[in-house]
Amino acid sequence: MPIQDLRSIDSTTSLKADLCIVGSGPAGYAIARNLKDSGLDILLIESGGLDMNDETEALNAVEDVGTTITNARCRVLGGTTEAPHWGNRCISFDDIDYEERPWVPHSGWPIGHEAVAPYLEQASDYLGAGRQIAPRAKLAEGKDIASLPRLNEDKVRYIWWNFGRTEGRKPVRYNEVLKADSTGLNILIHATVSQIILTPSERAIESIEVSDAEGRRRTIRTRAVVLCAGGLENPRILLYSNKQKRNGIGNDHDQVGRYLMDHPRDKSMAVTFDPRQATTFWSLFGPFRYESGAGRRPFVRGFVLSPDYQRRHELLNCAAWPEEEMAHEDPLRAAVRLVRNRSSDRKADVGAILGNADYLARALHSSLVSRDPIRRKPEKIGLYVGSEQVPDPDSRVTLTDRLDRLSLPVPRTDWRINAREVESQIALSRHIAEECRRVHGLDARLADWVQDWKGNVDFLTDGCHPTATTKMSADPRSGVVDPDCQVHGVEGLYVAGSSTFPTAGHANPTLMIVALALRLAHHLRGKLAAA
């Protein structure tokens, strides 16, 4: 290898590996890169190719019967990091996220923060974010942080998100990383897992069957497999691997695919402010830059519902982060349209530049001199609010009778949103408005649904963070994988990614995905290398 197309491998060639990692996104990349010096023969398997194409992406088809989930999967080298919307926000879970909470059915992790903490900084480095601004820190490094007015922390508190970036200030994309340097890695592209094959006892992994883009199938003998294919694809693979176990692998207790969660949020901003207060808004929420140890990295500030308030009022963990919509007359946008000869009204664009010369000057200074985030002219400024969900066993991924072009069952999603998610977001939004008026002097305005919720959920969308469909549990009757992420009762079969999370917290999942993947890599290094 190191990068080889399954379609080009002779049918007589024997395929085998000590460890097969299925999926080349953040989890798969982290495990493969961490173990490349272990002496193990590792094969990183990707369903897609080097670049995205419509034919491969068609394999992501889903039948929605509940609330529609954004189909943001990417079948390509690098996985989700190739998605156009990939922002690479990095934040760890709060302590309350691991707890068993009486008001949140099926909550509680079989591990705690102390099990994940040793891997968070390394995970942050893998994602290009450097040193973390931890959500539990009272102060963070960077300008204008220490002088913040004090909030009523019985209700809300500040929180920070890092952004993983390259030195060129772009989100880290593993497609580029793997193409540039796959040294020490064996990568097989256009290889879709079509079946997991167990030993005759059905208690250990024996091999996997993979299909190339033309549907030709091959067998890879292996000692261990890690599924890193995402919150929808991981359960799908386990469910259609049913040649030996009729209900699928890991599904003896009908747990595979259940508890499908995401981060529901309003399609617009729950809290908005007067655009004329943009300077104050930016000074409070960012983005800022700080010295991360890996260069200057951006971060933003937002709000989170305090853990004590969650406990007192039996609410869910939720957070709010800043967003802005650019004005059409933003001078930078107008300049780009003119330079690229895409202006539909050259006179108006020239007028936008001349009439907003102060914005243009600040943008150029930020980009070329101070290398700070660019401040542009906004049409709308405010905060999005998103939350975790109550784990609902009826919110799930199952299989349809319809087959894709590789003769694999198309998944069905039944994503359900409950009242407590909306109630938690309403509480946070109202407290943010109160605190912004009281402490920051911002004229906060609440969305209609925050002021008068009618009981509907059709205004909510997902965050492209499918979670918990192969949840971690100490007891096989209540989950799919054990605390080491091995499928209950199946030696050598592991799952990595947000599908193992018992609850989702408010955090973007990628940092936690990579931290848990590195924890799994440590486990595999000891177990497989020793054997």
Span 119-141, pLDDT tens digits: 999 999 999 888 765 433 333 34
Count of domains forming the chain: 2
Q: Is the peptide bond before 2 cis (omega within 30 degrees of 0)?
A: yes
Clarify whether residues 26 and 74 are in a common domain.
yes
Clarify whether residues 398 and 518 are in a common domain.
yes
Reduced to 3 states (helix: H, G, I; strand: E, B; else coil), residue 388 is coil
215, two tokens: 């549907």
* Cβ-count burial 320-357 (b if 16+ within 10 Å, e if not): bbbbbeebebbbbbbbebeeeeebeeeeebeebbeebe
Clarify whether residues 245 and 353 are in a common domain.
no
Which residue matches tokens 């982060």?
A: 321
Clarify whether residues 72 and 190 are in a common domain.
yes
372, two tokens: 């700070």
Question: Which pLDDT does position 434 carry in this prediction?
Answer: 95
The percent of residues above 90 in pLDDT, for the chain, comes to 70
Q: Would you say residue 117 lies in a domain?
A: no
pLDDT at residue 453 is higher than 80: yes
Averaged pLDDT, 294-313:
89
Residue among 530, 531, 500, 493 nearest 515 (CA): 500
Residue 437 to residue 217: CA distance in whole angstroms? 62
Sign of CA dihedral 268, 269, 275, 279: negative
Clarify whether residues 45 and 188 are in a common domain.
yes
User: How many other C-beta atoms are found inside a 10 Å radius of the C-beta of residue 281?
Assistant: 22
Residue 67 to residue 65: CA distance in whole angstroms? 7
Residue 149 to residue 151: CA distance in whole angstroms? 6
Clarify whether residues 363 and 402 are in a common domain.
no
Clarify whether residues 333 and 257 are in a common domain.
no
Of 345, 376, 407, the one marking the end of a domain is 376
The DSSP call for residue 395 is S
Q: Would you say residue 442 lies in a domain?
A: no
Clarify whether residues 43 and 181 are in a common domain.
yes
For 168-178, the pLDDT digits (tens) are: 678 889 999 89
Residue 350 to residue 355: CA distance in whole angstroms? 8
Q: Would you say residue 501 lies in a domain?
A: yes
Question: Which pLDDT does position 112 carry in this prediction?
Answer: 96
Question: Which pLDDT does position 135 carry in this prediction?
Answer: 39
* Contact by Cβ (8 Å): 354, 470: no
Q: Would you say residue 411 lies in a domain?
A: yes
Q: Would you say residue 274 lies in a domain?
A: no
Clarify whether residues 372 and 401 are in a common domain.
no
For 368-395, the pLDDT digits (tens) are: 665 666 666 778 999 999 999 999 999 9
Question: Which pLDDT does position 403 carry in this prediction?
Answer: 97
Q: Which domain holds residue 190?
A: 1-91+172-261+393-415+467-531
Clarify whether residues 203 and 72 are in a common domain.
yes
More confident position, 365 or 421 = 421
Q: Look up the CATH number of the domain holding residue 60.
A: 3.50.50.60
Q: Would you say residue 112 lies in a domain?
A: no
Which residue matches tokens 């894709």?
A: 404
Question: Which pLDDT does position 330 carry in this prediction?
Answer: 73
Clarify whether residues 4 and 65 are in a common domain.
yes
3-state DSSP helix/strand/coil percent for the chain, to nearest 5? 30, 25, 45
Q: Would you say residue 340 lies in a domain?
A: yes
With bands split at pLDDT 50, 70 and 90, how would you rate the model's confidence at 180? confident
Averaged pLDDT, 221-249:
97
**Burial degree of 420 (CB within 10 A; 0-12, 13-18, 19+):** middle
Residue among 154, 198, 108, 150 nearest 479 (CA): 108
Residue among 20, 93, 35, 6 nearest 465 (CA): 93
* Contact by Cβ (8 Å): 79, 230: yes
Q: Would you say residue 353 lies in a domain?
A: yes
Clarify whether residues 476 and 400 are in a common domain.
yes
Cα-based distances in Å from 358 to 315, 364, 365, 371, 383: 44, 10, 11, 17, 25
Q: Residue type at 54? A: D
* Contact by Cβ (8 Å): 78, 32: no
